[in-house]
């Protein structure tokens, strides 16, 4: 690609030596120096003196590259320039030549731009000799002044042809300006129509309506939520009314208990009990209470021991089941357990006794059996199976399990008997304690406890009522906040729509003002041109 661009540039600039693409791909040192000298002398530095002060060609190349600030100048040394056509050095040299071509193109464009914008150069003319319509007006006026002054010096006082050329030039510029104004008017109309089309599109309005519908939907949800809360409030009021009735009933019971307490206190006061009897009764009561606590402790310990025994029994049964499963798995792995028909719910040990006994060593666990001896069973005939094959090997384990079961049953029965006795004693002690408690001031304490419990229940009810009222208030505040948020979003959407409408009007107004401003400037420019022409005419008439 770089070689093609270098070749095209050299051909365009009329390189006088024969050059092909093959030459640029594998050049000699002389070809490289010829191309480099042409690129430097053509545009970049035509006045450069080669070999000044005894410099070699390689020194001049490195000096020029550094003067023009070539970034990769360090990649090209004198030794590499001496063997520039080698495969290792030529890519760097080719890149440098491509950079010189680009530098020359940039400099040519800069020179062309400076020539086009030079005010001292004459204006470009058409084939008919008239200035080009897009020429600089100042340049055309300067040409007009120079031409008329030259005619004036030759003795002429009138310049109709020059004036006609100048008028034609400004008429054409006016026509171009009018055409531009018409095009601007058409563009403004198109922009206005596009603006109307954009305004007609229901995009923002549809979004606002969708937001409004969403707000309405949220409002309906909040309204339904409020209705649900009101229904819950009605239900809560009913529950509160029922609680109030229960409280009144409890108060009535408490009043009855207070009356009974007063009657008991009166009955106690009427009985002739001495201080020694009261002390004796108090001592017996304390003793009975202490015995009651001891009996309750023993009862709890016995119940705990009974539960532990039942847990131990369950663990032993589970261990037995696990052992049987492992035993059967071992038989299956050893190939001693043959396939048996699927047993139904009506199969029993008696029905299994008639099956073939060859290879039947399976053990089944019947955990629902009440007797330990019936918990394990095996298949086979009467002379084989569990009794003659399996049971001898497991008799020790069965005996241990049976003895443990029997011991646990005996211990459980003994403990149940003890628990029953303790319960009877506790009942008798409780009856005696109740009789004595009704004769002393314990009734008063009980009434106080009932009153405290009633007060506590009433306080809990009041706290529950207050909590429900707070929840209801919070729900109302949340619903009101959601409604306010929805109204805020609706207001924001309306404000945004108004802002878009205002911006559209401002854009339309600004476009109209720009068109009017441009038209006014064109008219003022036309007026200035006519005034300047009149001044020229007056100046010419004076001379």
CB 254 within 8 A of CB 402: no
Reply yes or no on whether the pLDDT at 350 is more than 50: no
What confidence score (pLDDT) does residue 379 get?
46
What confidence score (pLDDT) does residue 444 get?
61
Q: Is 85 helix (H, G, I), strand (E, B) or coil?
A: coil
Residues 6+ apart with CB under 8 A from 153: none
What confidence score (pLDDT) does residue 495 get?
76
Place of tokens 């001495």: 274
Label residue 353 by pLDDT band (50, 70, 90): very low
What is the helix (H) or strand (E) element at residue 16, kind and residue range? Answer: none
| Domain residue limits, the chain | 2-116, 137-200, 272-335+358-440
Question: How do residues 128-147 score in pLDDT, each as one tens digit?
Answer: 656 665 566 677 777 777 77
Region 411-428 average pLDDT: 75
DSSP category for residue 118 = -
Which numeric CATH code is attached to 2-116?
Answer: 1.10.418.30
Of these ranges, 56-60, 178-182, 454-458, the one predicted with the greatest mean pLDDT is 56-60
What is the helix (H) or strand (E) element at residue 182, kind and residue range? Answer: helix 160-200
Label residue 358 by pLDDT band (50, 70, 90): very low
- Cα–Cα separations (whole angstroms), residue 246 to 240, 258, 265: 10, 18, 28
Residue 294 tokens, joined: 């001891």
Q: Which of 102-106, 112-116, 164-168, 336-340 comes out lowest in average pLDDT?
A: 336-340
Label residue 380 by pLDDT band (50, 70, 90): very low
Q: Is the dihedral of CA 79, 83, 84, 90 positive or negative?
A: negative
Q: Is 363 helix (H, G, I), strand (E, B) or coil?
A: strand
Residues 6+ apart with CB under 8 A from 390: 361, 363, 378
Which numeric CATH code is attached to 272-335+358-440?
Answer: 1.10.287
Reply yes or no on whether the pLDDT at 94 is more than 80: yes
Label residue 401 by pLDDT band (50, 70, 90): low
Question: How do residues 162-201 score in pLDDT, each as one tens digit?
Answer: 788 778 877 877 777 778 788 888 888 888 887 777 777 6
- Cα–Cα separations (whole angstroms), residue 302 to 298, 314, 418, 421, 486: 6, 18, 8, 12, 69
Q: Determine if residue 515 is left, alpha or beta; phi over 0 gives left, psi from -120 to 50 gives alpha, anything else beta.
A: alpha
In angstroms, the CA 199 to CA 218 distance is 29
What confidence score (pLDDT) does residue 237 get?
83
Label residue 446 by pLDDT band (50, 70, 90): low
Residue 318 tokens, joined: 């589970």
Reply yes or no on whether the pLDDT at 221 is more than 80: yes
Q: How many CA atoms lie within 13 A of 361 on its CB side?
A: 20
Q: Is 154 helix (H, G, I), strand (E, B) or coil?
A: coil
Reply yes or no on whether the pLDDT at 234 is more than 80: yes
Tell me how many degrees the CA angle 208-210-215 measures, rounded to the nearest 5. Answer: 95
What confidence score (pLDDT) does residue 116 get?
56
Reply yes or no on whether the pLDDT at 97 is more than 70: yes
Residues 6+ apart with CB under 8 A from 82: 29, 58
Spell out where 294-446 has E strands.
363-365, 376-378
Percent of the chain clearing pLDDT 70 (strictly above)? 72
Reply yes or no on whether the pLDDT at 413 is more than 50: yes
CB 414 within 8 A of CB 294: no
Residue 504 tokens, joined: 């559209």
Reply yes or no on whether the pLDDT at 356 is more than 60: no
What confidence score (pLDDT) does residue 340 get?
45
Residue 219 tokens, joined: 């409002």
CB 245 within 8 A of CB 445: no
Region 316-330 average pLDDT: 77
Label residue 240 by pLDDT band (50, 70, 90): confident
Reply yes or no on whether the pLDDT at 127 is more than 70: no
What confidence score (pLDDT) does residue 170 get?
77
Residue 174: name the closest of 515, 522, 517, 516 by CA: 522
Kindly tell me the burial class for residue 424, based on how many C-beta atoms sit within 10 Å of its own C-beta (0-12, 13-18, 19 or more).
exposed
Q: Which of 161-175, 364-378, 417-431 comes out lowest in average pLDDT?
A: 364-378
Tell me the longest C-alpha to C-alpha distance in the chain: 169
Place of tokens 């409408």: 501
Question: How do residues 472-529 score in pLDDT, each as one tens digit?
Answer: 777 777 767 767 776 777 777 677 777 777 777 777 677 667 767 767 777 787 787 7
3-state secondary structure 451-485: HHHHHHHHHHHHHHHHHHHHHHHHHHHHHHHHHHH
Residues 6+ apart with CB under 8 A from 42: 13, 104
What confidence score (pLDDT) does residue 385 get?
46
The average confidence (pLDDT) of the chain is: 74
In angstroms, the CA 284 to CA 287 distance is 5
What confidence score (pLDDT) does residue 386 get?
54
């Amino acid at each position: 690609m770089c070689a093609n661009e270098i070749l095209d540039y050299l051909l365009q600039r009329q390189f006088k030596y024969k050059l092909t693409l093959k030459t640029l791909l594998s050049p000699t040192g002389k070809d490289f120096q010829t191309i480099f000298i042409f690129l430097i002398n053509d545009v970049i530095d035509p006045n450069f003196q080669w070999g000044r002060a005894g410099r070699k060609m390689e020194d001049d190349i490195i000096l020029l590259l550094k003067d023009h600030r070539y970034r990769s100048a360090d990649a090209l040394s004198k030794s590499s320039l001496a063997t520039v056509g080698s495969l290792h050095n030529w890519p760097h040299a080719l890149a440098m030549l491509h950079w010189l071509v680009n530098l020359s193109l940039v400099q040519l464009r800069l020179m062309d731009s400076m020539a086009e914008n030079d005010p001292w150069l004459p204006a470009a003319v058409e084939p008919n000799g008239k200035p080009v319509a897009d020429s600089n007006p100042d340049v055309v006026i300067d040409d007009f002044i120079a031409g008329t002054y030259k005619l004036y010096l030759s003795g002429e006082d009138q310049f109709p042809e020059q004036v006609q050329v100048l008028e034609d030039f400004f008429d054409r510029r006016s026509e171009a300006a009018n055409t531009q104004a018409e095009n601007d008017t058409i563009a403004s109309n198109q922009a206005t129509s596009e603006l109307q089309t954009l305004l007609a599109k229901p995009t923002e309005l549809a979004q606002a309506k969708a937001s409004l519908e969403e707000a309405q939907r949220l409002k309906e949800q909040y309204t339904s939520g409020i209705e649900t809360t009101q229904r819950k409030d009605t239900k809560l009021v009913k529950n509160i009314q029922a609680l109030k009735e229960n409280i009144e009933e409890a108060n009535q019971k408490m009043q009855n208990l207070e009356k009974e307490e007063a009657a008991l206190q009166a009955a106690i006061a009427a009985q002739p009990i001495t201080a020694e009897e009261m002390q004796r009764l108090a001592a017996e009561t304390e003793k009975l209470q202490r015995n009651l606590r001891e009996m309750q402790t023993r009862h709890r310990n016995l119940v705990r021991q009974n539960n532990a025994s039942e847990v131990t029994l369950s663990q032993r049964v589970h261990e037995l089941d696990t052992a049987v499963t492992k035993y059967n798995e071992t038989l299956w792995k050893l190939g001693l357990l043959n396939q048996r028909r699927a047993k139904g719910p009506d199969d029993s040990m008696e029905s299994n006794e008639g099956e073939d006994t060859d290879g039947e060593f399976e053990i089944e666990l019947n955990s629902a059996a009440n007797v330990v001896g019936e918990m394990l069973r095996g298949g086979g005939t009467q002379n084989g199976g569990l009794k003659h094959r399996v049971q001898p090997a497991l008799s020790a384990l069965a005996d241990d399990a049976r003895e443990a079961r029997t011991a646990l049953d005996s211990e459980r029965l003994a403990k149940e008997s003890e628990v029953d006795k303790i319960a009877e004693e506790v009942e008798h002690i409780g009856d005696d304690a109740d009789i004595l408690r009704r004769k002393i001031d314990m009734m008063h304490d009980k009434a106080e406890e009932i009153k405290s419990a009633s007060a506590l229940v009433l306080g809990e009810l009041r706290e529950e009522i207050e909590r429900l009222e707070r929840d209801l208030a919070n729900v109302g505040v949340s619903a009101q906040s959601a409604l306010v948020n929805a109204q805020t979003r609706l207001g924001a959407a309306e404000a945004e729509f108004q802002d878009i409408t205002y911006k559209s009007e401002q854009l339309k107004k600004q476009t109209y003002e720009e068109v009017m401003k441009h038209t006014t400037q064109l008219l003022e420019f036309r007026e200035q041109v006519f005034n300047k022409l009149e001044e020229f005419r007056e100046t010419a008439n004076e001379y």
